[in-house]
Amino acid sequence: MSLTLLGRSLLLLAFFLNCDGASAATGDGPDGEPVAGSARRIALWPNGVAPGDKPLAQAARIVERSTDPALPDRYITHVSAPYLVMYRPARPNGTALLVTPGGGYQRVVLDKEGSALVPAFVEQGGITLFVLRYRLPGEGRDDREAALADAQRALRLIRARAGEWQLDPRRIGVIGFSAGGHLAARLGNGFDQPAYPATDAIDRASARPDFQLLVYPVIDMAGADAHPGSRERLLGARPEPALQRRYSMQDQVRADTPPTFLVHAGDDAAVPVGNSLAFYSGLLRAGVPAELHVFPHGGHGFGTRGIAGLTTAAWPRLALDWIAAQGTEHTP
């Protein structure tokens, strides 16, 4: 599943030099993000801004954390006009994944849990990816539902335009990483809970993912395994116990929560594996089909990188096999 260093370098060079879509002349996406090659930008909301929201006083900022040009690791903050970046395979198999990257509800990761998924999931798996640049709480807006509103809108938009993109509207899932895993779980548990007022025909489509994948997800907001930074940014410095329980996703699982695939490393010191274990237990209690993979090594935030030689490197292949089986497996 891994590319050679030369192949990876050429792929990333093409990513930054080419462009597509409305801004093809410059290659600059919203907020100046380069969007390149076969990737395409898709605005989430009419006129760019979500209903009831307003542009932030501070412009969006993109930061590069990596010193290796072959392995970019950017993140974005202060998103005012949320959008998707779509990556289509040469031969789409009809399956789509909405990607909600992590960042502790402080930032949205762009590469490690976004474009780096392309080789395994798009090029090899034939899946169409839609990577979400979502709004964050605490950036001049007092709205902890903003990210969920963006996720609901994104899922509805993908489903409403499935025919245009050669997608099966019954095979649209979500994959979330770290705090983005919390957002994905919120979408799976609360797809029918209004997070924003309907704006157009797209909002008549269902926001329920057909399946969900959660990779080292933040789940618990109340117990010892809670991620303090994510909790504080989403719920405030001293949230009431009832609010913590409301946003603890293991306590919000329903019978119609989508089938779930979970990945975690046992040595994750940032978001303990207890988060995935708790969610898996909640899924079992609700009778929701679930698959859990706990690998001994990998730490936190590995995505598809830095795990060569570890058993953890098997997770994308396991995920693709699981996705392919969705809708085909039947309990005896």
Contacts of 271 (CB under 8 A, 6+ apart): 178, 216, 217, 218, 225, 227, 300
With bands split at pLDDT 50, 70 and 90, how would you rate the model's confidence at 122?
Answer: very high
Determine, yes or no, domain membership for 226.
yes
The answer to which of 17-31, 41-55, 98-112, 175-189 has the lowest mean pLDDT is 17-31
Query: C-alpha angle 206/191/145, rounded to 5°?
Result: 125
16 within some domain: no
**Is the model's pLDDT at 26 over the cut of 60?**
no
Percent of the chain surpassing pLDDT 70: 89
Does some domain include residue 70?
yes
What pLDDT, in 10s, does the model give residues 226-280? 999 999 999 999 999 999 999 999 999 999 999 999 999 999 999 999 999 999 9
Q: What pLDDT is stored for residue 55 in this prediction?
A: 84
Residue 210 within a domain: yes
Instruction: Provide the domain count of the chain.
Output: 1
- Report whether pLDDT(14) > 50: no
Q: What is the mean pLDDT of the chain?
A: 90
Calculate mean pLDDT across residues 283-297. Answer: 99
Residue 159's domain spans which residues?
42-325
- Domain-embedded: residue 34: no
- The pLDDT value given to residue 183: 99
Of the candidates 216, 189, 175, the residue with the CA atom closest to the CA atom of residue 299: 216
Q: Could you tell me which residues come within 8 angstroms of residue 280 by beta carbon, excluding any fewer than 6 positions away?
A: 260, 262, 290, 292
Task: Please state the rounded mean pLDDT for residues 163-172.
Answer: 98
- Asked if residue 23 belongs to a domain, the reply is no
Of 327, 39, 41, 321, residue with least CA distance to 172:
327
> The domain spanning residue 292 has which CATH number?
3.40.50.1820
The better pLDDT of the pair 142, 151 is held by 151
